[in-house]
Amino acid sequence: MPVEQRFTSTEVESSKRYGREFGGAMMWYALFLFGAAYLARVVPLPWRVVVAATPIVPLWFALQAALRFFRRADEFARRVQLEAVGFAFVAGVMLSMAYGLVEALAELPRISWTWVPPLFLALYGLGGYLAKRRYA
């Protein structure tokens, strides 16, 4: 089915806008990340902390882009997104807490906390797939 039949013009425009806003913010994030990684080696403490935290700035704009996309979505799309986010939040908390407990009690290998955000994103994707399948 052609794209223009699967998606309405409002959806296509909204997705394009989201792509521009989110993609732009992530491009700045990558630049900030590399810049911070370089500068953190040459800047002394306590400024190193400030430099290391600067990638949060473009992430804030990425968050704003995601929220604007969510608000532009129609009521059914918001329901699906809510179920996806709800699933990711509950399952993510349960899995990370459960592994944390097992890790401490059964002396399993320590996994860095930086794996938690990718876990949440993967669960958000799975939650979206499950919610869409439920209403298809």
Partner 1 sequence: MRNTLKVLRAERDWSQADLADRLGVSRQTVNALETGKYDPSLPLAFKLSRLFARPIEEIFQPEE
Residues that bind partner 1 (CB under 8 A): 4-11, 73-77, 79, 132, 134-136
SS3 11: helix
Q: What is the 3-state secondary structure (H, E, C) of 77-89?
A: HHHHHHHHHHHHH
Based on CB atoms, which residue is closest to partner 1, 65 or 131? Answer: 131
CB of 134 to partner 1, least distance (A): 8
Q: Which is nearer to partner 1, 16 or 132 (CB)?
A: 132
Minimum CB separation of residue 77 from partner 1 in Å reads 6
Closer residue to partner 1, CB minimum distance, 81 or 88? 81
For residues 86 and 50, the answer to whether their CB atoms sit within 8 Å is no
Burial of 77 (0-12, 13-18, 19+ CB in 10 A): middle
